[in-house]
Amino acid sequence: MSNLNNQLVKQETAEVARGIRLLLAKPLLTASTDEDAFDLVRRRRDPITQWFDYYCGWRAFVEPRLGYARLSKVTDRPDSSRPVRRLRSSRAPFDRRRYTLLCVAAAELLTTPVTTIGLLADRMVQATAAEPELPTFDPTRRDERSAYVDSLKWLERCGAIRPVDGSTESYLDHADAKVLYHVDATLLVRLLAAPVPPSRLAEPELTALLAESRYGDAADPDAAVSENQRNLWLRHSVMRRLIDDPVVYRAELTPAQLGYLASPTGRRIITRGIVQAGCVLEERSDGYLVVDPDAIATDTKFPDDGSHPKVSALLLLDRLNETGDWLPVGDLALVAAELLDRFRSWGKAYRSDGGAQRLAQDAVDILCAFGLAEQRADGATRSLPAAARYAVERIQIDEPGPR
């Protein structure tokens, strides 16, 4: 093969790997927010959609002309540590009210191609008043308007609504602000990824919502399902966890899944898929971990100096690794207090009353989110096996001999 062909194949492999990871990090990739990324996914859409379909059983839609790519992720273990965040200053996670208003707004937006922020609010007031189970939306209150604006901003970022005139934030200050929106109904519908439409269920039941008929009862080891279905389920369920979660411990996998990972075929398929995504599979006797060396397919990094809690998390992890046992809340706070003493330059956020406790808790949250530690109900925390990856390296220092 000529040199040029080699180069082209290499470039394609690299780009496909990058595209897969871009979609993993942002299941809705729009041209307006990230043009380069969307362009790459658009160019390599066929291998990328095939990869997701084969390895994860996830559908990826790439709409070159509409300017978005959407990966419909499905899991049987929805995570609560990766919430939607507000797009305004604080970046705090959405609360229940914001989620509720987001859904009400989406339902109302579906009925009209063009609307204004005030008309939409009116319709939402009527819609919530007609539903006895929903607290009535009250745009005269500032906190309600703030929640409303946050949910609209999120839809705006998704590209489901496009402000043609005016800015959404202006609604915060006065409820008669004029903002004109164009609504993209197809994208709105694409936002829903649950395999079972929620309106078909009588009550909020996550397992029922996430039931995927294509696998049958393959998850149940005693159920009689075809070999194909079982294999499909094994491949998809294992790959989904590996490619999406920071750490997968053996203890969390079923015997069937472990068997698949141990079998030559299963192993080969999984390793190949992960390499194609540009990642590295780290396999240890206690679990599996996928490393993305370029940190593309991740919402946050650890270890990292991105924030004070992150730095604290690493140092706290050192202490947890040393102890190797449950560390009570008081001790965690002590470590945090030491850190606050050591890093004098750290801002005011943790300097007030109870700052050390809050810092300790934020750090523990990060560790838990990365599968490196677990916390009991009483707040005591201990490290999990993968934490040893970040243990302090013991450097051999030669004893200075006599000269």
Partner 1 sequence: MFVFTTTERADLHTAALYAFGEANERLETALTFDDVHARLRSVGWFEPVSDEELDATLSRLRQWGHVDVVQNHAAHYTTAEDYERKNLQYLLTKRGEAAFEGVQHALSVLASSGALQTAVLDAIAERLGELHSLMGAGVASNRRIYTTLMELEGHLDALRTNTKQFNSELQRLLRADQPDLATFQEVKRATVGYLQEFVTNLDQRRHTIREAVALVEDQGIDALHQRAMAGAELPKLTSEDPEAAWLRHRAAKWAGLRSWFRPVDGTAPRVDELQDIARRAIVQLLRALERMSDVRRRSTSAAADFRTLAKWFAASRSEPEAHQLFNAAFGMWPARHAHLAHEDAELISSAESWAQAPPVPISPLLRTSGRIERIARTGKVRDVEEVRRLRRERARQERAELEAAWRQLATPGPVRLSCIGRLDHASFHRLLELIGRALIARQDSAGVRRAMTSDGRVEITLRSPHDAATATLRTPHGVFTGPDFVVDIRTTGARSQAEEAR
Strand 59-63 and strand 161-165: the pairing is unpaired
Give me the 6-25 binding string for partner 1, x by CB under 8 A, dash otherwise: ---------------x--xx
182 part of the interface to partner 1, by CB under 8 A: no
Record the tokens describing residue 294, joined without a space.
């370029």
Distances (CA, A) of 194 to 140, 235, 241, 328: 34, 20, 17, 39
* Region of 159 on the Ramachandran plot (φ > 0 left; ψ -120 to 50 alpha; else beta): left
With CA atoms as reference, report the closest residue to 94 among 27, 9, 153.
Answer: 153
The residues that bridge with 373 in the sheet, in sequence order, are 383
Contact criterion met (CB below 8 Å) for 163 and 180? yes
221 part of the interface to partner 1, by CB under 8 A: no
- Residue 165: φ, ψ to 5°: -145, 130
Among 135, 259, 328, 354, binds partner 1 (CB under 8 A): 135
Among 36, 133, 398, 399, binds partner 1 (CB under 8 A): 133
Contacts 24+ apart (CB under 8 A), 202-208: 206/78, 207/76
256 part of the interface to partner 1, by CB under 8 A: no
Q: Please, what is the minimum distance in Å from the beta carbon of residue 77 to partner 1?
A: 9
Half-sphere exposure of residue 206, counting CA atoms within 13 Å on the CB side?
Answer: 7
- From the list 29-37, 217-225, 278-286, 354-362, the region that binds partner 1 by CB under 8 A is 278-286
Q: Please, what is the minimum distance in Å from the beta carbon of residue 377 to partner 1?
A: 14
Among 50, 112, 126, 167, binds partner 1 (CB under 8 A): 126
3-state SS assignment for residue 268? helix
48 part of the interface to partner 1, by CB under 8 A: no
Task: Rank residues 40 and 248 by Cβ distance to partner 1 and give the closer one.
Answer: 248
Among 39, 46, 220, 299, binds partner 1 (CB under 8 A): 299
- From the list 6-14, 26-34, 164-172, 212-220, the region that binds partner 1 by CB under 8 A is 26-34
- From the list 3-11, 139-147, 159-167, 277-285, the region that binds partner 1 by CB under 8 A is 277-285
Strand order of the β-sheet with 28-30 is 28-30, 68-72, 59-63
Distant-in-sequence, close-in-space partners of 220: CB < 8 Å, separation ≥ 6: none
Q: How far apart are CA 349 and CA 346, in angstroms?
A: 8
320 part of the interface to partner 1, by CB under 8 A: no
Contact criterion met (CB below 8 Å) for 348 and 295? no
146 part of the interface to partner 1, by CB under 8 A: no
Among 87, 172, 175, 194, binds partner 1 (CB under 8 A): 194
* H-helix or E-strand spanning residue 343: none
Give me the 383-402 binding string for partner 1, x by CB under 8 A, dash otherwise: --xxxxxxxxx---------
44 part of the interface to partner 1, by CB under 8 A: no
Task: Rank residues 88 and 389 by Cβ distance to partner 1 and give the closer one.
Answer: 389
- List the interface residues with partner 1, window 68-87 (CB under 8 A): 71-75, 78-84
344 part of the interface to partner 1, by CB under 8 A: no
Q: Please, what is the minimum distance in Å from the beta carbon of residue 224 to partner 1?
A: 28
Contact criterion met (CB below 8 Å) for 73 and 244? yes
